[in-house]
C-alpha cells in the first residue's frame, strides 16, 4: 500500500490506466461494444482525476497518522474502483465470447 503522496498518485494512475488500456485493446477487436467500453474509459478517467485531487485535499501534517489514514482510504478506494471497472470489462468480454 502506498505510504506517500507520489507513490499513491502513481498507484492511482497505474491501476486505472490499466483499465483504460484494456478497454482500448478490446475496442480494436470488438468495435460493436465501443459505447460500453467508452463508458468504462470515461469512468476510469473521471476516477483518476477525482482521486488525484483527493490525494491533496487535506490539511494534515506530513507523516501524521491522519495523513496515513487519508492515503489508506484513497488506496482502498482506488483498488475497489479498479476491480469494479475490471469486473465490468470482464463481464463484457464474457458476453463477447458467448456470442
Q: What is the CA radius of gyration of the chain?
A: 16
Q: Which single residue is written with the C-alpha cell 460493436? A: 32
pLDDT band at 97 (very low <50, low <70, confident <90, very high): confident
Determine the average pLDDT of the residues in 32-44: 96
pLDDT of residue 34: 94
Alpha-carbon dihedral sign for residues 7, 81, 55, 48: positive
pLDDT band at 99 (very low <50, low <70, confident <90, very high): low
**In angstroms, rounded to a whole number, what is the distance separating the alpha carbons of residues 16 and 50?**
12
> 1 is written with which cell numbers?
500500500
Q: What is the pLDDT of residues 11-23, one digit of tens each?
A: 999 999 999 999 9
Amino acid at each position: 500500500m502506498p505510504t506517500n503522496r507520489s507513490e499513491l498518485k502513481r498507484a492511482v494512475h497505474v491501476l486505472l490506466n490499466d483499465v483504460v488500456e484494456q478497454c482500448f485493446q478490446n475496442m480494436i477487436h470488438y468495435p460493436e461494444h465501443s459505447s460500453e467500453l467508452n463508458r468504462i474509459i470515461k469512468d476510469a478517467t473521471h476516477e483518476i482525476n477525482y482521486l488525484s485531487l483527493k490525494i491533496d485535499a487535506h490539511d494534515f501534517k506530513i507523516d501524521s497518522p491522519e495523513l496515513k489514514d487519508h492515503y489508506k482510504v484513497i488506496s482502498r478506494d482506488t483498488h475497489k474502483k479498479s476491480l469494479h471497472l475490471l469486473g465490468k470489462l470482464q463481464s463484457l468480454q464474457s458476453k463477447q465470447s458467448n456470442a
